[in-house]
Amino acid sequence: MKITIVAAEAAPYAKAGGLADVIGSLPGALKDAGEQPSLIVPGYPSIIDNVETAPVLRNIPMRFGAGVERFSVLRATDPHGVPMYLIDHPGFFARPEIYGEHGMDYPDNMRRFIFFGRAAAVASAEIIAPDLVHAHDWHSAAAPIAMRADGALRPMFKRALSVFTIHNLAFQGIGKREDFGLLNIDAPYFSVDYLEFYNHLNLMKGAIVLSDGASTVSPTYAREITTDPELGFGLEGVLRDKGADFVGILNGADYHEWNPAIDREIAATYTPTKPDGKRACTRALRDSLKLPNHEDWPLVGMVTRMTAQKGVDLLKDALDAVMRLDLQLVMLASGDGALEKSFKDA
């Protein structure tokens, strides 16, 4: 099966969160399973400057709202030997970061990622002719929307299925009503049955409705976001309406990379039957941070986005009480400026 994977991040080249780890590993896993995956991502400098590329499509015009934008497609290969296609548009993607800088989103992110999704759909149809398009999170939502709602693209995908995966339901790609015109699809799609969301454009909603199937990162999360309005962020009813076509599939891990039995980057290797190396790793971390070597104290490590969505605000409020316990806490985290300052001060 030929599978097009569309995403805004891909480890090890462009990473803002856990989405990049999934997209960095999933193509290789699909290849190992005997499928024919390809990956489409934006042409960030962090990718173009670090991989060998060759042009596949040059200076392609694409309708974008009332105007036309041009882009090229570069071919590269990911670390698993999977074809990787880069949507090359320096005006949108030649920036220092993926989504924003100094704690602020780029103000044109809606334009950037509607363009990316539509360009990815064009590139997929022209180059890959896939059996399945698998889009991830709101940044790629315009791809499955274009597959089904763009009259020019629809015939090119008539034999293809589409799947949309939700990694973070809190960020849905909600824009102004006027942003709908950037999709260049018929006006009836701006309705409560498709992309309209309280008189705003909602790209994630549109992708869920228009995709053949939708998934999220675990069965538990799938149950939570269809039953709890606080976790469903207004889309719990849309997800329930997908019925059996919405499923939770537990995220896996790439054990070629994350395997303490063979990892050369840690102080000592270890296995479930020979766990002694874990103590050496703990000691090495304490030494590197000049922490007292209290071997009878637990060392708690957190790697996270520093945001209330991850519960970091709860830890902030409880931090004084937590630190009165006999433990040590190490955080590798960034994100919300106020939370960063609070933990740095602490």
% of the chain residues with pLDDT over 90: 92
pTM of the model: 0.90
Three-class DSSP category at 14: strand
Per-residue b/e over 77-87, b at no fewer than 16 CB within 10 Å? ebbbebbbbbb
Burial-class residue 195 by CB neighbours within 10 Å (0-12, 13-18, 19+). buried
Nearest Cα to 183, choosing from 157, 163, 153, 161? 153
Three-class DSSP category at 185: coil
> Tens digit of pLDDT for each residue in 274-319?
999 999 999 999 999 999 999 899 999 999 888 888 899 999 999 9
- Cα separation, 110 vs 8, whole angstroms: 13
% of the chain residues with pLDDT over 70: 100
- Cα separation, 289 vs 176, whole angstroms: 47
Burial-class residue 22 by CB neighbours within 10 Å (0-12, 13-18, 19+). buried
* Residue-level pLDDT at 216: 98
Residue with tokens 């309005």: 229
- Cα separation, 101 vs 33, whole angstroms: 38
Handedness of CA 150, 151, 155, 156 (dihedral sign): negative
Q: Which is more confident, 120 or 18?
A: 120
> Tens digit of pLDDT for each residue in 158-189?
999 999 999 999 999 999 999 999 999 999 99
> Tens digit of pLDDT for each residue in 235-269?
999 999 999 999 999 998 888 888 999 999 999 99
* Residue-level pLDDT at 309: 81
Query: How many CA atoms lie less than 13 Å away from 99 in the CB half-sphere?
Result: 14
pLDDT tier, 200 (very low <50, low <70, confident <90, very high otherwise) = very high
Nearest Cα to 234, choosing from 185, 287, 171? 171
3-state secondary structure 246-291: EEECCCCCCCCCCCCCCCCCCCCCCCCCCCHHHHHHHHHHHHHCCC
* Residue-level pLDDT at 172: 98
Residue with tokens 């993607």: 93
pLDDT tier, 72 (very low <50, low <70, confident <90, very high otherwise) = very high
> Tens digit of pLDDT for each residue in 11-27?
999 998 889 999 999 99
Q: Is the pLDDT of residue 103 over 80?
A: no
Lowest mean pLDDT across 64-68, 128-132, 293-297: 293-297
Domain ranges of the chain: 2-248, 276-345
Q: What is the mean pLDDT of the chain?
A: 95
Distance from the Cα of residue 42 to its chain's centroid: 12
* Residue-level pLDDT at 308: 86
Tokens of 311: 């519960």
Look up residue 171 and give its amino acid: F
Nearest Cα to 215, choosing from 169, 146, 148? 169
2-248: CATH class: alpha beta
Mean pLDDT for 112-124 is 98
